[in-house]
């Protein structure tokens, strides 16, 4: 059973595993597109509806309220229904909500449609990396989970390109920006019929033969032993919410929550959601089209950094990559705040510093946090624990998005970026003191190590 498969068979198996991960990562692509398309649309929406700054913040952050709700139910639903069936439901909601967002005539209608889109994103943000982690062999798990982040930033870049290309068709261009997401939603829905259920969920449901087949298909050298490990991990946990409060679990939950929050309060979504406003109102861009062109450059760097992370996450390791990224982000934001204070019309230097900040985030904090969150929780409560961490992430994202324009008005745009830079410093300290390396370990080995450290 432990014999190495022939090279041709091993190559086919590896290709199959990557194909599964790519299908699941389509949820990440829709996640990225739906979250970032507001950046291209917001300038036109603000003019069309004559929104105030507060109304603009509400419109931009309404999606995130749905994300919080979606993430809050995703864990329990995925443990009940299975990962694959819940992803199918999310794919259908992605398509319907994209069309609904294209037709509103009031702020309330727009926010309702965006909340529905947020429900799908909340589910996908928790479930896609979780599913990929559970389907992947340990040696390439970091790389495959990072595919989800690659898909997210690809979706962001596509949304920027769509926004830029549609910006010249008139004041209703924002409607087409949202409607275009329906096409990849249909693709995601159809492709999900060709991927298997998570082997860890199958084991929890007592479907051992199916789990064995899935593990063999994705290249596990000893699938029977892996199923035994999963069964032992499941047997050791009851899967109740009360388990999350046990001493050996509290540390994991706390670390997961803090990491998720820090990923957001370091400010990345001020660039993702409000980039066009930053450039048109604070950095000297001459037109909406020029601001959207700058967004495309930012999205391209975001994508390039994430591609680099695919090669670094399983070699350099999670902790080192996260620490380098948080330090680089902090320095970039400090310099950005200074430049915007002394020379706010220096559009090109401002863009260069934003690109540095985005490059560090996309290489480290973006994919790294999702990989760690998908790894550190025990099998039988992974869905619920991942949901808690993801809810925390979306609440932090909601608060940042809901307050950025007001914060910039209260303490200046420079002051806002300095606040986020301080949070990067806090992230560096936290990573150094409270995290450990998970590179190259099976999910069950990680569980045993954390249990031992917590005295379990």
At 394-413, the pLDDT tens digits run 899 999 999 999 999 999 99
Residue 285 has pLDDT above 90, yes or no: no
> Which pLDDT score, from 0 to 100, does residue 383 have?
67
Poorest-pLDDT segment among 131-145, 212-226, 241-255 = 241-255
At residue 119 the predicted structure's pLDDT band, cuts being 50, 70 and 90, is very high
Q: Where are the domains of the chain?
A: 13-195+236-453
Which of 436, 440, 449, 372 lies closest to 137, judged by CA? 440
- Mean pLDDT over 56-77 rounds to 89
* Cα distance between residue 350 and residue 344, in whole Å: 8
Distance CA 264, CA 377 (A): 21
CATH of domain 13-195+236-453: 1.20.1250.20
pLDDT (0 to 100) of residue 456: 45
Find out whether 369 and 266 touch, Cβ atoms under 8 Å: no
d(CA 249, CA 379): 12
Q: Classify the C-alpha dihedral 220-75-123-369 as positive or negative.
A: negative
CA distance 434 to 429: 9
Is 158's pLDDT higher than 70? yes
pLDDT score for 101: 94
**Residue 145 pLDDT level (bands cut at 50, 70, 90):** confident
Query: Band of the pLDDT at 2, cuts 50, 70, 90?
Result: very low
pLDDT band at 240 (very low <50, low <70, confident <90, very high): low
CB 367, CB 149: distance < 8 Å: yes
pLDDT for residue 93: 95
Separation between Cα atoms, residue 231 and residue 320, nearest integer Å: 32
Q: CA-CA distance, 150 to 128, in Å (whole number)? A: 12
pLDDT band, very low/low/confident/very high, at 172 (cuts 50, 70, 90)? confident
Q: What is the pLDDT of residues 304-354, one digit of tens each?
A: 998 898 888 888 888 899 999 999 999 999 999 999 999 888 888 999 999
pLDDT of 223: 83
| pLDDT of 167 higher than 90 | no
Q: How many whole angstroms separate alpha carbon 265 and alpha carbon 174? A: 28
Q: Is the pLDDT of residue 453 over 60?
A: no
Mean pLDDT across the stretch 132-150?
82
Of 11-15, 355-359, 416-420, 448-452, the least confident: 448-452
Across the range 228-238, mean pLDDT stands at 73
d(CA 153, CA 174): 20
Which class for 286: exposed (0-12), middle (13-18), buried (19 or more C-beta within 10 A)? Answer: exposed
- What is the spatial distance between Cα 318 and Cα 256, in angstroms, rounded to a whole number? 14
pLDDT for the residue 323: 95
Is pLDDT larger for residue 18 or for residue 244?
Answer: 18
Buried-exposed string 257-272: b where 16+ CB fall within 10 A, e elsewhere: bbbbbbbbbbbbbbbb
Tens-place pLDDT, residues 69-104: 998 888 888 888 899 999 999 999 999 999 999 999
**How many Cα atoms within 13 Å fall on the side-chain side of residue 224?**
2
pLDDT class for 1, splitting at 50, 70, 90?
A: very low
Task: Name the nearest CA neighbour of 148 among 380, 385, 390, 328.
Answer: 390
Higher-pLDDT residue of 286 and 159 is 159
Average pLDDT over residues 219-229: 81
* Non-local CB neighbours of 139 within 8 Å, separated by 6+ positions: 314, 440
Determine the Cα angle at 185 with ends 302 and 218, to 5°.
Answer: 75
- Burial (CB count <10 Å: 0-12, 13-18, 19+), residue 409: exposed
Among 358, 389, 375, which residue's Cα sits nearest to residue 436? 375
Least Cα distance to 20 among 84, 86, 74 occurs for: 84
What are the structure tokens assigned to 304, written together?
């390039």
- pLDDT tens track for 347-364: 889 999 999 999 999 999
Structure tokens at 132: 């990929």
Model confidence at 6: pLDDT above 60: no
Q: How confident is the model at residue 153 (pLDDT cuts 50, 70, 90)?
A: confident
Residue 238 in this model has a pLDDT that exceeds 60: no
pLDDT surpassing 90 at residue 217: no
Q: What percent of the chain has pLDDT over 90?
A: 41
Q: Is the pLDDT of residue 234 over 80?
A: no
What is the number of alpha carbons within 13 Å of residue 165 lying toward its C-beta?
9
């Amino acid at each position: 059973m432990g014999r190495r498969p022939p090279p041709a068979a091993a190559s086919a198996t590896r290709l199959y595993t990557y194909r599964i991960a790519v299908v699941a990562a389509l949820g990440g692509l829709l996640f990225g597109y739906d979250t970032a398309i507001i950046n291209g649309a917001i300038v036109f929406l603000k003019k069309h509806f004559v929104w105030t700054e507060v109304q603009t913040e509400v419109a931009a952050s309404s999606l995130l309220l749905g994300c919080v709700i979606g993430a809050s139910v995703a864990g329990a639903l995925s443990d009940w229904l299975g990962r694959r069936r819940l992803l199918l439901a999310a794919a259908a909601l992605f398509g319907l909500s994209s069309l609904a967002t294209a037709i509103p005539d009031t702020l309330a209608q727009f926010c309702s449609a965006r909340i529905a889109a947020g429900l799908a994103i909340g589910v996908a943000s928790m479930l896609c990396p979780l599913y990929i982690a559970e389907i992947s062999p340990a040696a390439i798990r970091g790389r495959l989970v990072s595919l989800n982040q690659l898909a997210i930033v690809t979706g962001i870049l596509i949304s920027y390109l769509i926004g830029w290309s549609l910006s010249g068709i008139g004041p209703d261009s924002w409607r087409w920006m949202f409607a275009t997401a329906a096409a990849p939603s249909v693709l995601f829905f159809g492709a999900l019929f060709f991927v298997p259920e998570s082997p860890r969920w199958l084991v929890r449901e007592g479907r051992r033969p199916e789990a064995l087949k899935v593990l063999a298909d994705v290249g596990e050298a000893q699938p029977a032993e892996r199923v035994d490990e999963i069964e032992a991990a499941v047997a050791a946990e009851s899967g109740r919410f009360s388990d999350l409060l046990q001493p050996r679990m509290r540390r994991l939950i706390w670390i997961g929550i803090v990491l998720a929050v820090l990923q957001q309060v370091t400010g990345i979504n001020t660039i993702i959601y409000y980039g066009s406003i930053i450039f048109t109102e604070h950095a000297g861009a001459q037109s909406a089209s020029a601001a959207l062109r700058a967004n495309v450059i930012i999205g391209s760097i975001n994508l390039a950094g994430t591609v680099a992370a695919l090669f670094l996450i399983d070699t350099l390791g999670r902790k080192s990559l996260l620490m380098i990224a948080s330090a680089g982000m902090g320095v970039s934001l400090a310099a950005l705040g200074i430049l915007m204070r002394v020379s706010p019309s220096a559009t090109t230097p401002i863009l260069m510093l934003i690109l540095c900040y985005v490059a560090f985030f996309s290489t480290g904090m973006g994919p790294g946090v999702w990989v760690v969150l998908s790894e550190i929780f025990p099998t039988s409560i992974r869905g619920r624990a991942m949901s808690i961490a993801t809810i925390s992430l979306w609440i932090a994202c909601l608060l940042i998005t809901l307050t950025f324009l007001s914060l910039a008005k209260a303490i200046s745009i420079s002051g806002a970026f300095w606040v986020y830079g301080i949070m990067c410093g806090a992230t560096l300290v936290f990573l150094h003191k409270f995290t450990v390396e998970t590179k190259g370990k099976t999910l069950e080995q990680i569980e045993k190590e954390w249990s031992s450290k917590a005295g379990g």
